[in-house]
Amino acid sequence: MRKLSGVIILTLIKTSSPEETARIGKILGTLLRVGDVVCLSGGLGAGKTRFTQGLACGIGVSGPVTSPTFTIINEYQGRLPLYHMDVYRLNDPLEMEDLGYEDYFYSHGVTVVEWAERVAKLLPVERLDVIINRSPEGEEFRTITFTPCGEGPAVLVKELMKLVCARN
């Protein structure tokens, strides 16, 4: 069980290249545990898939991780199963039922959802929200905002920040 004293509201990290965004994802990936759900938001081309590629690497997935835009879900095996969803093309959140989304969210693996805001009502209460935004500083700049929902995700963000700061 992750335990935390105090409350984390949100944490913001700035990146200045796709590699840097992937590196943050990778560090997060090393910390993820069974049942963790990471919900990614941000516009087209924000870097959600790039972030997930790093995350997958941190989980120990070898081989390419590609956008599941058309397949909706891709599954990978690292030290844990990774379920990578992209719900952009769902016409109705109810289509999530057909996918059996609960089997993924409440599973023995880690789930990453791109465009999570489109299925907001179906997301588990305990999750880590990650918003990636372009920054006016330049074409390759992004801000990544982490908002933990629940105590487990709050500890996760705290651990993430420790590692990110230690490696800078």
Ligand X SMILES: Nc1ncnc2c1ncn2[C@@H]1O[C@H](COP(=O)(O)OP(=O)(O)O)[C@@H](O)[C@H]1O
Q: Which residues bind Mg ion (CB under 5 A)?
A: 48-49, 67, 114
| Least distance in angstroms from the C-beta of 48 to ligand X | 3
What residues numbered 66-95 form the site for ligand X, per CB under 6 A? Answer: 67
103 membership: H or E segment, kind and range: helix 101-105
Q: Which helix (H) or strand (E) covers residue 12, if one does?
A: strand 11-15
Between strands 37-41 and 110-114, the pairing is: parallel
Q: How far is the CB of 41 from Mg ion (least distance, A)?
A: 11
CA distance 81 to 84: 10
Give the footprint of ligand X on residues 4-63 (CB under 6 A): 15, 17-18, 20-21, 42, 44-50
Distance in Å from the first CA to the final CA of the chain: 28
Of 23, 84, 127, 142, which lies in the binding site for ligand X, with binding defined by CB under 6 A? 142
Distance CA 167, CA 113 (A): 27
Shortest distance in whole angstroms from residue 9 CB to ligand X: 24
What residues line the site for ligand X (CB under 6 A)?
A: 15, 17-18, 20-21, 42, 44-50, 67, 114, 140, 142
